[in-house]
Amino acid sequence: MKTIGRAVATFFGLGFFPLAPGTAASLAVVLIYKFFLGGLLWPYVLLLLFLFTVLGVISSADYSRELREEDPRKIVIDEACGQLFVLLLVPPTWAALAVSFFLFRFFDIIKPFPVSRAEKLPGGWGIMADDFVAAGMAKILVHLYLVLK
């Protein structure tokens, strides 16, 4: 069971990417969305996001305890879920995907308030929450871009 948890927490090994593993996981989700998920009805994508979020909270808490680190770089399920949240209801065009990717990574990396506050939650909740807050901020701007485009 530990192996499955590690696989989920590292988003199937992308957390072991040597440079910017969170960015690698976000980019992978963008490509998965472009080629597989973007054509699905949004309730199915939302269900997938919900399932990965629940698994992410559990697996990231377990793996961070195992590594004895609060928010290890290897855990990237939070970036994967955050990026998918940004992409939910976004048309799978390259322009919209690029804006979604860059805005999410921007907010996730600089961690402005309230992103910085959300990561203070305990365990897996804190690991996941800051990415969802960053994703929410990015999502608002992405949809504003789509409306004004």
List, for residues 116-149, the tens digit of each pLDDT value.
999 899 999 999 999 999 999 999 999 999 999 8
Express each pLDDT in 60-100 by its tens digit: 999 999 999 999 999 999 999 999 999 999 999 999 999 99
CA angle 35, 135, 147 (to 5 degrees): 75
> The pTM is what?
0.97
Output b/e per residue, 56-72; b: 16+ Cβ within 10 A. bbbbbbbbbeeeeeeeb
Provide the angle, in degrees to the nearest 10, between the axes of the packed helices 77-87 and 42-67: 160
Which residue segment(s) compose the domain that 25 sits in?
2-13+20-148
Total of domains in the chain: 1
